[in-house]
Amino acid sequence: MALNKTSPIISWLRALARSLHTEVGGKGVGAVGMCFSGGFALGMMVDDIMIAPVLSQPSLPLPVGKDRAASLNLSPDDAAVIAQRAADGCQVLGLRFDKDKLVGDRFSSLRSLLGDAFIAIELPSQSPKDHSVLTEQRDEPSVQRVLQFFAEKLK
C-alpha cells in the first residue's frame, strides 16, 4: 500500500454513498470502518455527503515503520479537503484500544489533521490482543456512542 495515496476503493465507496443518499435521502450518510477498512470513512469525507464518519481501530497501511504507522492512507489533496471539512464542523469519531499496535500512531495523525473535530475514544487495553472495539472485544458503551453519533449527525 503506497503512502500519501488514497486507496482506490474509496472512489467506489464515495459513489455508493452518493447513490444510496439519492435513493434514500436525509441529511447525509454515515459509515463505520473497522480494522483494514478503518480509515475508509475518513477518505469518504472528501464528498460533502459524508457527515458521520466513524473510524474503529484503523489499521492500514500496516504499521511497519514510523511513516506507515502514522499514515492515514490519504493523498495530500484529499487530506487538504478533509482538513477543511473538519474546520467547517464535520466531526470524526475514532475508537481504539490504547495498546493496539495495529493502529500505530494514526490517532496522533488524526488529531493533527482534524484538530478539535476529532472525537477520540481510547479504551484501556485489558490484553495485548485487544483490537476490535465494536465486535470481538465489544465495548458496549462504545457501541452506544457510535449509535449516538449517528443519531446526532444523521437525524
Q: What is the pLDDT of residues 43-95, one digit of tens each?
A: 999 999 999 999 999 999 999 999 999 999 999 999 999 999 999 999 999 99
> Which among 82, 64, 66 is positioned nearest to 74, based on CA atoms?
82
- How many structural domains compose the chain? 1
Cell numbers linked to 92: 470524526
CATH number at residue 56: 3.40.50.1820
Domain membership flag for residue 90: yes
Confidence band, pLDDT 50/70/90 cuts, at residue 132: very high
120 φ/ψ angles, rounded to the nearest 5 degrees:
-100, 130
| Residue 4 domain-assigned (yes or no) | no
In a domain, 1, yes or no: no
Q: How confident is the model at residue 3 (pLDDT cuts 50, 70, 90)?
A: confident
Average pLDDT over the chain reads 96
Pairwise CA distance, residues 80 & 122, whole Å: 25
Give the containing element (helix H, strand E) for 14: helix 9-24
Question: Residue 34: inside a domain, yes or no?
Answer: yes
* Residue 1 confidence (pLDDT) above 80: no
Q: Where is average pLDDT lowest: 30-34, 59-63, 102-106, 110-114?
A: 59-63
Q: Is residue 2 part of a domain?
A: no
Residue 144 counted as domain residue: yes
What is the pTM assigned to this prediction? 0.96
The mean pLDDT of 10-27, rounded to a whole number, is: 97
Q: Please report, as a single letter, which amino acid is at residue 146.
A: V
pLDDT at 4 over 90: no
Is 134 a domain residue? yes
Give 16's DSSP letter: H
Percentage with pLDDT > 90 across the chain: 96
For 75, the domain range is: 9-17+27-154
Cell numbers that stand for 68 in this block: 506507515
Do the domain assignments include residue 3?
no
Q: What proportion of the chain, given as a percentage, has pLDDT over 70? A: 99
Euclidean distance between CA atoms 29 and 41, whole angstroms: 10
